[in-house]
Amino acid sequence: MMSSYPDWNTFTSTSFAAGREYPLLAPETPSFMSQPVAKTPADLKGADIAVIGAPYVAATGGMYAGVPMEDWIAAPKRVRQQSARYPSGYIQDFDLDVFETIKLVDYGDADIPAEAMENPTAENVLAAQAAVEAKVNDALNAGAVPIVVGQNSPCGSFAIAKPVAEHTDGPVGCISLDTHWDAHELDYLTGDPRIAGSSSWKHKMYEFLDNMHPKHLVEIGERGMLEDKRIVRRYLNDGARFISSWELRSGLGIEGLVKALDQAYDGTKGQYVHFDMDCIGGAGPAPGDILGELAEPVGMTDYEVIRIAHEIGRRGLTGMSFICIPPGSAVVYRVIVYIIMYLAAGLALRKHGRVA
């Protein structure tokens, strides 16, 4: 079941968005939260956050998980469109205007070649990954936190983890929200051991990046019967902290989960944060059916993922990425806006010294 997503003209005529001008990255694509557009690396100077789009999907036959490729790829544009309905960075929950403290810029989309999706050979996928890495490296070189809005791996995961690890002098912690561990040894799409694909990117992250180890991993949200027990047990034996959504709901609670985030910070010098949004399943603000084959019961709620992002912002992070943003629902795209902005609020509170 797919929701009907409004076109840009319909959107800009709504009561929240009408009558305002937006900096545009492309036709019908405003900058995130109407913030300045960075067109060159020099434009990133002084930025705290750089939002980057990675419109890539590991599709075959024009479909991914039973949903048309076009609906997945539209996520970076649609998240930006939904951000345009908010007139400022003022978050009433905290009586805080984020943009008075945090400089956020929109660094546009990575130049992902179309052939990476039309003909997903290993070489084409590596070229797409390199395009995202280039943008992420520019942000990190400028001292900004790259936040990549993508849809599939490696462009929305490993392409961020790798530069984060390379820019960090010491161990890197990881906080990952997901429904699937994505920890198989080989990419199912290409069968190439170089590719950190949709089902293998986490395995490749730990295989290829020497300063990342599962003992600094906090893995959140998986549940049910999909995973190979050998994979899960290997990560547990290596010291990862796994919090299933069942554990979250049956005693740990959100406060216990927030405390458990410390494992990604203790003894580390940087943090890579990854939100695979199929973790919300059908528990978010839209039916799980829009995720096609990726939807599973006992999903996380929108509040839980937004709260986790805020707490990460309060602690600090090096880079962040999104994949599997449920396609077609305007309110789900707004969830991504909230995640980014409440994380930015955490960073602002951190700057103000308002964190314990």
For residues 160 and 90, the answer to whether their CB atoms sit within 8 Å is no
CA separation for the pair 36, 43 (Å, rounded): 9
Angle between helices 158-166 and 201-208 (to 10 degrees): 20
Instruction: Count the Cβ atoms, other than its own, within 10 Å of residue 282.
Output: 16
Residue 8, SS3 per DSSP? helix
For residues 299 and 283, the answer to whether their CB atoms sit within 8 Å is yes
- The stretch 32-40 carries a mean pLDDT of 98
pLDDT of 356 reads 64
Cβ-count burial 3-32 (b if 16+ within 10 Å, e if not): bebeebeebbeeeebeeeebeebeeebbbb
Judged against a pLDDT cut of 50, whether residue 2 lies above it is answered with: no
CA separation for the pair 135, 29 (Å, rounded): 18
Kind and range of the H or E element at 53? strand 49-54
The model's pTM: 0.97
| Residue 49, token pair as written in the block | 């956050």
Which tens digit of pLDDT belongs to each residue from 258-314? Answer: 999 999 999 999 999 999 999 999 888 899 999 999 999 999 999 999 999 999 999
Going by pLDDT thresholds of 50, 70 and 90, the confidence category of residue 14 is confident
Which tens digit of pLDDT belongs to each residue from 273-286? Answer: 999 999 999 888 89
Where do the domains of the chain lie?
Answer: 22-351
CA 327, distance to chain mean position in Å, is 14
**At CA 196, angle to CA 190 and CA 197, rounded to 5?**
55
The closest alpha carbon to 219, from 207, 234, 197, 208, belongs to 234
The residues facing 105 across adjacent strands are 50
The residues facing 150 across adjacent strands are 54
Going by pLDDT thresholds of 50, 70 and 90, the confidence category of residue 1 is very low
Percent of the chain scoring above 70 in pLDDT: 99
Which tens digit of pLDDT belongs to each residue from 230-268? Answer: 999 999 999 999 999 999 999 999 999 999 999 999 999
For residues 15 and 85, the answer to whether their CB atoms sit within 8 Å is no
Does the domain at residues 22-351 carry the CATH identifier 3.40.800.10? yes
Judged against a pLDDT cut of 90, whether residue 123 lies above it is answered with: yes
More confident residue, 285 or 209: 209
